[in-house]
Amino acid sequence: MTKLNYVEHFENGSGGWFGLDKHKGMYRPLTKNSVMCCIGPWGLDYDHAPPGAGYLQRIMGIYLKGPLTESVREMGGTNRFIEGGFSANLTNARLTFRLKGSIEFQGANLFLLVQGIHRGICSGWILTGQPIAITGDWSDQSVTVALEPGQWKCLGSRHDRMDYYGVVDIKTILSGAKCLNIHLGLFPICVMPKGPINDDMHLLRAGKDYPVWHTKLPDGYVMVDKVIIEYPGS
């Protein structure tokens, strides 16, 4: 059976996509003239600090499969992916983002992040083999969600969240996980404590239990006016 391809032009709001930043957390992004804009500074995700893969920043995301919390419904608005009945199985799908912007990367790159829950474990994977370029002019940037282990890095979990975050193979996450969501995110993030701390920095929560140098974190803005998901055989 041929799967219908997903196309979002942001003509009537964000269509289920939400932004994430340092001050508001998840928020309803600005959409004007069919363009979604995500402006830094972005929040620091410490849930995957070592012994996990490390720190990251999520810029924007959408849930491809529910159940959806009230806050997700409120911040993303009408989720046209779910309401349109599009397939949440992204195996070998091609995702294209038409975007532009400016980011001070500070050693990070922009990647696709896929995350879902299987048997009570939330597992996130970053497509590190296919970084996404950002330029000052509009450009189409595409990634293919292939099942090649060398293309992916699992986020794992910080020391005290292993009851919830962990490793579930990417094939299972792509094909059958609950609450499946995708993000554009920055990784890896170099965290530098602002001043001395009295414990292992990775045992504490960066930016919450101790201040960090925000000048060392990525910042900037990203504008997106189209997202396409093309399924194999479509």
pLDDT tens digit sequence for 126-157: 999 999 999 999 999 999 999 998 999 999 99
The answer to whether the CB of 17 falls within 8 A of the CB of 65 is: no
Query: Cα–Cα distance between 202 and 50 in angstroms, integer?
Result: 6
Q: Residue 32: what pLDDT?
A: 85
pTM above 0.85, yes or no: yes
Q: What integer pLDDT is reported at residue 15 of this predicted model?
A: 93
Q: What's the distance, CA 68 to chain centroid?
A: 16
pLDDT at site 216: 95
Rounded to 5 degrees, φ, ψ at 5 are: -70, 150
pLDDT of residue 24: 62
**Phi, psi dihedral angles at 38 (to 5 degrees):** -120, 115
Rounded Cα–Cα distance for residues 45 and 98 (Å): 25
pLDDT digits (tens, 9 = 90+) for 93-129: 999 999 999 999 999 999 999 999 999 999 999 999 9
Distance between CA atoms of 119 and 132, rounded to whole angstroms?
31
Residues of the chain where predicted confidence (pLDDT) is lower than 50: none
Burial 188-219 (b: 16+ CB within 10 A, else e): bbebeeeeeeeeebbebebbeebebeeeebbb
Which pLDDT score is estimated for 31? 85
Residue 99: what pLDDT? 98
